[in-house]
Chains A and B, each alone.
Chain A
């Protein structure tokens, strides 16, 4: 008389101590596990913070953007289709939150002559030992770029992601990422060129230059 249930009783997940993949954690979160999403946050918050801080160049803005992004990811976890890695998906949400923040503040692109002016005005005497100074200088320089170039450079040059990964995060073709990186570097080169004289940097860049020159 009784037909089998249409929905088999879900296997009760016991707390497994084995490392759980991000995708599994997201599935558990969708199923109602109240701790799964916290683990995702713990795993990725530093990288998300770095992306947001470098993209926005302002800690308060970055904190708001990352918080918005994580809350948004928490809510829309059900729409994650698994066609991309969870990290790519998270990066995308963070980057979009940052870009949106910049758009809402209507940061206009800076013209080239303004860049050069800024470079001349903002070139401080570099304290070789102060990484912090360099960091602030880089942040200030990045702020002069249009947001799409900035986002590409943060992912590729600062965070070290491949062009392909960055293209997935930004949802544009690889060629577009390359071209945004190229234009961004061209704008930054006059501003940051004085940093090249640091011995560790100049050695690498000469090698790279030589390689390009020799084809």
Chain B
């Protein structure tokens, strides 16, 4: 191609990127050797790179940095649970939507019954995340609006923060329907679970040791051995009528059995009650539920050891 015909900028840019096949590249180079306008165009293209590279990239303004810090602090506050908790907390909201007091069909199995009972392995937990639909950017790179998601999350949380009296009332109704719930639960219970030597939640009183360690638990600690933390604590009572008992009953109705130990402390700096249920007493494994002051689950139930 010679004379008054020239290559367009796109061809020349592709030449510079090595995108042209060998034959075309050679033809364009031959043309460039004799065509000043095309040589100028090529120089213009190279100048684009240089101009872009020379454009200074300013540091993030302090105002923006502070704004992001605040947003992240609010994020941490609203989920209270550290990294994993962030991913899991909304899943809990989903789970609780199917809880007996949130739905009129108690025969519908709760989500943890649909999934294998004893596999809350930490490695698997992130897989809960796709159902959460919380992220701004999805795994496939698509982005969903943040604001509606946040609003939805807030509504769910608000629903959870029901008055203790109302919660107790619903919990009582649930306990009244224990026969049905227990039937559902026993189907999915693992066959090797040892008999629980404590009174069933349907009973008038449920028995557990109540301690008041005020210890600030971390997620890692609640996956490890808990005997040292909760075992030697000062027992402040076995069963009492305080607000915590209502909450314990509520959770017990959900779990299908009652806890053997409850410790009042903190989880990641937030006030929390640690409820321990026997998972397998022979193997010293316990199921740990962590609830906040409003009896809201602040951490996905997990397994720990008791020795």
Spell out A's residues near B (CB within 8 Å). Answer: 2-10, 12, 28-34, 36-38, 41, 45-50, 53-54, 59, 62-63, 66-72, 74-79, 92-93, 96-97, 99-100, 131, 134-135, 138, 153, 157-160, 171, 175, 178-179, 181-183, 185-190, 192-193, 195-196, 200-202, 204-206, 208-209, 212-213, 215
Contacts and interface: CB of A to CB of B under 8 A. Distances in A.
Given A32-B218, A38-B69, A138-B51, A75 B87 contact: yes
A66 B268 CA distance: 27
A31 B82 contact: yes
Contact of A34 (B29, B39, B43, B82): B82
Interface in B129-164: 129, 134-137, 139, 141-143, 146
B212 interface: no
A189 B45 contact: yes
B285 A6 contact: yes
A46 B219 contact: no
B48 interface: yes
Given A33-B83, A59-B61, A157-B52, 14 more contacts: A31-B83, A32-B219, A37-B83, A66-B68, A74-B76, A74-B86, A75-B87, A157-B48, A159-B57, A179-B14, A182-B16, A188-B52, A205-B47, A206-B43
Contacts of B268: 32, 34
A31 B13 CA distance: 48
B224 A8 contact: yes
What are the 6 tightest A-B residue pairs by CB atom distance, in nearest-first order? A32-B82, A5-B305, A72-B136, A100-B143, A10-B220, A49-B60
Interface string B14-53: 1111110000001001001100000101111111111111
B225 interface: yes
A30 B224 contact: no
B44 A45 contact: no
Given A190-B44, A209-B39, A100 B142 contact: yes
Given A3-B283, A75-B86, A38 B72 contact: yes
Q: Is the interface of A mostly helix, strand, loop or mixed?
A: helix
A130 B43 CA distance: 23
Interface string B73-93: 001100001111111000000
B187 interface: no
Contact of B42 (A47, A135, A212): A212
Nearest to B65: A45
Nearest to B143: A100
Given A32-B268, A79-B129, A213-B29, A5 B224 contact: yes
B126 interface: yes
B53 A32 contact: no
A5 B225 contact: yes
Interface stretch (B4-12, B166-174, B203-211, B234-242): B4-12
Contacts of B146: 68, 71-72
Contacts of A77: 83, 86-87
B44 A202 contact: no
B97 interface: no
A92 B143 CA distance: 11
A82 B258 CA distance: 40
Contact of A5 (B42, B53, B129, B307): B307
B221 interface: yes
B210 to A, nearest CB: 24
B43 A196 contact: yes
Contacts of B60: 45-46, 48-49, 66
A45 B64 CA distance: 10
Contacts of A204: 46, 50
Contact of A178 (B18, B54, B59): B18
Interface string B274-303: 000000000111000000000000000001
A22 B136 CA distance: 21
A36 B13 CA distance: 43
Nearest to B279: A6
B57 A186 contact: no
Contacts of A67: 64, 67-68, 71
Given A131-B56, A182-B13, A213-B33, A76 B129 contact: yes
Nearest to B38: A213
B184 to A, nearest CB: 27
Contact of B68 (A70, A157, A159, A171): A70
A171 B58 CA distance: 26
20 contacts: A3-B283, A7-B303, A7-B305, A10-B220, A32-B219, A49-B59, A63-B64, A70-B68, A71-B71, A74-B72, A75-B86, A93-B137, A97-B136, A157-B52, A157-B53, A186-B8, A186-B45, A188-B48, A205-B46, A209-B46
